[in-house]
Amino acid sequence: MNPVNFPAHVALVGLPGSGKSTVGRQLARRLGWPFLDSDQVIEQRIGLSIREFFEREGEEPFRDLEQAVIGQLTAGEPCVLSTGGGAVLRPANREHLQQRSHAIYLHSLPEEVFRRLRHDRNRPLLQVADPLERLRELYAVRDPLYRESARLVVETGRPSVPALVHQIASQLETLGLVTATRQ
């Protein structure tokens, strides 16, 4: 594979709470690339939190916005892009992630993200009586879609964030997708 012709976006996909934003921000710092978070870009554009937008408009208008933003960001300047956990639901997003980026699936089990998110009040899909059951349902539907979209699967279970960042950066270097990074 010719690194010069390779799409220079690194995108992170995975369940809510799998660490996409935290890992993405630190990976970007290490690579010296800009970091973008599609949820943050959406919130800046609509001037509302995603939770408020969901309450007012519902999920499908959010997915439309998300698709437009991911289409634009993956066509723009090289960056590390953290995506919302449901981005892979739309076929157009999966296609953009596959074709325009090197997407990495941060794989977490529903039980792991439940431990991290059980006090979260910002994620509209998890404001239900049984969030663990909801996460299991999301995992069943989305795990195959994350795998379809991504070229690398990284287990988030045990390693610390710096260890995950190091692992991902080393794999990107081995593949010739980035030049040697610090540390």
Which residues in this chain contact ligand S3P in the complex, by CB under 6 A? Answer: 16, 20, 39, 50, 84-86, 123-125
Q: Which helix H or strand E contains 111, and what residues bound it?
A: helix 110-117
Rounded to whole angstroms, the Cα distance separating 143 from 152 reads 13
- Of 85 and 110, nearer to ligand S3P (C-beta) is 85
Between 84 and 110, whose beta carbon lies closer to ligand S3P? 84
User: Measured from the CB of residue 97, what is the shortest distance to ligand S3P in angstroms?
Assistant: 14
CA-based end-to-end distance of the chain: 25
Closest by CA position to 122, among listed 25, 11, 22, 43: 43
Q: Both tokens of residue 75? A: 């066509």
CB of 71 to ligand S3P, least distance (A): 15
Shortest Cβ 163–ligand S3P spacing (Å): 21
Structure tokens at 29: 């710092």
Q: Which is nearer to ligand S3P, 88 or 178 (CB)?
A: 88
